[in-house]
A and B are shown apart, each in its own frame.
Chain A
Amino acid sequence: MFTTTKTLRQAASAARTPLIKFTGPRKWDSGDHARQAHPASPTHELPKDFSSTPNSASFSSYRQQAQQHGPLGASSKIGKHSGHSLGPVEPAKGEYFDRNELPARFRRTPIDLAEIDAIETGGAALWS
């Protein structure tokens, strides 16, 4: 019976492709938050006071317009997020910022002064 159902489904899908299709999990494009007119706005445009003139009375209004190595507003990726929102400044488990944080067996072998001198003198120091 299962085989019959499967066959019928295959036959149906071969005959016709519906317009409704599952296109996979939803993906949001949230990159651009530049101001645009509301879709139901009767004028289809924003008033002039929605323009780029900063409102100094509000820090958030100021930040929308402010520039620092590029725009700080939500439409920009620069300065868009506080450092806090990026999470803790700690490496993940098993990762290290510095070789000296690794277990001892992975660290550099200490170099003594004689070896340094030898390298710097092209080996001559060994014979002096």
Chain B
Amino acid sequence: MFRSLLVPRVAARSAFKQQSLPTIFTPAIGRRGYATSEEKDMVIIGGGVAGYVAAIKAAQLGLKVSCIEKRGTLGGTCLNVGCIPSKALLNNSHLYHTVLHDTAGRGIEVGDVKLNLAKMMSSKEDSVTGLTKGVEFLFNKNGVEYIKGAASFTGEHDLKIELNDGGERTISGKNIIIATGSEAMPFPGLEVDEKRIITSTGALSLDKVPEHLVVIGGGIIGLEMGSVWSRLGAKVTVVEFQERIGGPGMDVELAKDSLKFLKKQKINFKMSTKVMSGDASGDKIKLELEAAKGGKQETLEADVVLLAIGRKPYTGGLGLENIGIEPDEKGRLVIDSEYRTKIPHIRVIGDCTFGPMLAHKAEEEAVAVAEYIVNGHGHVNYGTIPSVMYTHPEVAWVGQTEEQLKEDGVTYNVGNFKFSANSRAKTNLDTEGYVKILADKETDRILGAHIIGPNAGEMIAEATLAIEYGASSEDIARTCHAHPTLAEAFKEAAMSAYGQPIHQPPNVRK
């Protein structure tokens, strides 16, 4: 009888706690103390979206975490001088533009409309401050130590921190995460002063509406900031080296239509044009332009020039040379599939390594890296990272473009649905654009979704979920969508991909 109660000693040692075997890293709680109180389970350099999310996730998983940020506020580029303030200005400038130009047809008579730029900027600051303080609050509640200062490696586990308040301290980490983000790419010959020659940072804080703003680069940042200042009254000229706007990820058809819509908003474009040189010594900034393929030259005068030719990883001052880590030719830190550098306990996430420089990509990596360390597994699907351009109309996409599918020799069906046939868009008097869904011809699985139109940035979430789950266009089409909503356009585009939409005549491409 007692036999069943007995566990042989050897068997018992190897058998118990089998469930916990996948645990790779045991949180510090309940562990033996170490010689220095400054050793943490995880030290994160950078308090941007990648860094702060990794810090909170790791703390939730039981690690002792410190996060070092030199800006003085958390949230990095995104919250302080990127996504968040730009969206505040985009939203308010759109409202201003609507009130100025689009009320009469809606039966609203307005009187004298004036722009109070200082107030608009202060409203933007309120949004930023509320969010950055919110992250600090979350650090506090999750027990993350927030260190304000600039960190540099003195050893593979050791960091020296120049504190913002003066003084210095050292800290060591069993795991170290580099999440130092990116910075605007400089333009040779034009020195940034953030007053006349500006990056996206300066474009968020101009103290007056420039008479003529020239944007070098027709990518997402350039077009968003160009839209803001155009709506507020500036003459805006975008100079783009390529034949198309929106950058390489945007579907060509959408890029063409977006260009058309932005031109209607009186934004000027000089496509296939390169900036040869600039001179900011006079009252006006003079830019020498030339056709990208050579030939036609012209001089453009501007009051303010926005450099929006891309971003590059920011890893300066980290002392990486002290530990033998070198960036690649584009400044990215090289990592493996679990974000490990060649020194395995030092990992890199966000803009300073591979992949698109997007806050939501960084956030995904932040969660995954903490999970890899604590649980031994993580998940980021780089095939389903959406992109959004917050112009009006918005442009959003996820998955593959038609060009990529053609290049890969994949046969596909195209489903299109125009917002001009969507009831909610009609009631909103906001009908520019369409939804385009690309589905595998054989299996009907959705391979890509491309939206230009109102609320595209929100609607792309449905497409991302569909692609992540491996849904077919018929799955979407047979899913009930509330009426009247803009999202019905997505359902009808899915219907169009595998059959026919209800509210649009057959064979309407867009």
- A residues adjacent to B (C-beta < 8 A): 16, 18-20, 28-30, 33, 35-42, 46-47, 49-50, 55, 57-58, 60-61, 64, 74, 80-82, 84-87, 89, 91-92, 94-99, 102, 106
Q: Once bound together, how far apart are the Cα atoms of A112 and B343, in whole Å?
A: 65
**How many B residues have CB within 8 A of the partner chain?**
49
Chain A proximity mask over B321-346: 1 for CB below 8 Å, otherwise 0: 00000000000001111111011110
B194–chain A nearest beta-carbon distance, Å? 31
- B residues adjacent to A (C-beta < 8 A): 1-2, 5-9, 12-13, 16-17, 20-24, 26, 31, 156-157, 334-340, 342-345, 353-356, 375-377, 380, 382, 444-445, 469-472, 474-475, 478
Q: Once bound together, how far apart are the Cα atoms of A92 and B445, in whole Å?
A: 51
- Residues of A near B382 (CB, < 8 A) are 39-40
Which residue from B5, B20, B354, B444 sits with its C-beta under 8 Å from A95? B5
Q: Is the pair B338, A33 in contact by a Cβ cutoff of 8 Å?
A: yes
- Residues of A near B156 (CB, < 8 A) are 57-58, 60-61
Chain A binding surface, main DSSP class: loop
- Residues of A near B338 (CB, < 8 A) are 33, 35
Q: Once bound together, how far apart are the Cα atoms of A36 and B336, in whole Å?
A: 6
**Known contacts A87-B20, A95-B6; A20/B469 CB under 8 A:** yes
B99–chain A nearest beta-carbon distance, Å? 43
Q: Is the pair A19, B471 in contact by a Cβ cutoff of 8 Å?
A: yes
Q: Once bound together, how far apart are the Cα atoms of A29 and B444, in whole Å?
A: 29
Q: Is the pair A38, B376 in contact by a Cβ cutoff of 8 Å?
A: no
Q: Is the pair A96, B6 in contact by a Cβ cutoff of 8 Å?
A: yes
Q: Is the pair B337, A58 in contact by a Cβ cutoff of 8 Å?
A: no
Q: Once bound together, how far apart are the Cα atoms of A101 and B12, in whole Å?
A: 15
Q: Is the pair B12, A39 in contact by a Cβ cutoff of 8 Å?
A: no
- Residues of B near A99 (CB, < 8 A) are 2, 6
- Residues of A near B335 (CB, < 8 A) are 38, 41
Q: Once bound together, how far apart are the Cα atoms of A41 and B447, in whole Å?
A: 21
Q: Once bound together, how far apart are the Cα atoms of A33 and B469, in whole Å?
A: 25
B310–chain A nearest beta-carbon distance, Å? 15
Q: Once bound together, how far apart are the Cα atoms of A18 and B478, in whole Å?
A: 9
Q: Is the pair B475, A19 in contact by a Cβ cutoff of 8 Å?
A: yes
Q: Is the pair A30, B472 in contact by a Cβ cutoff of 8 Å?
A: no
**Known contacts A94-B5, A99-B6, A106-B2; A47/B334 CB under 8 A:** yes
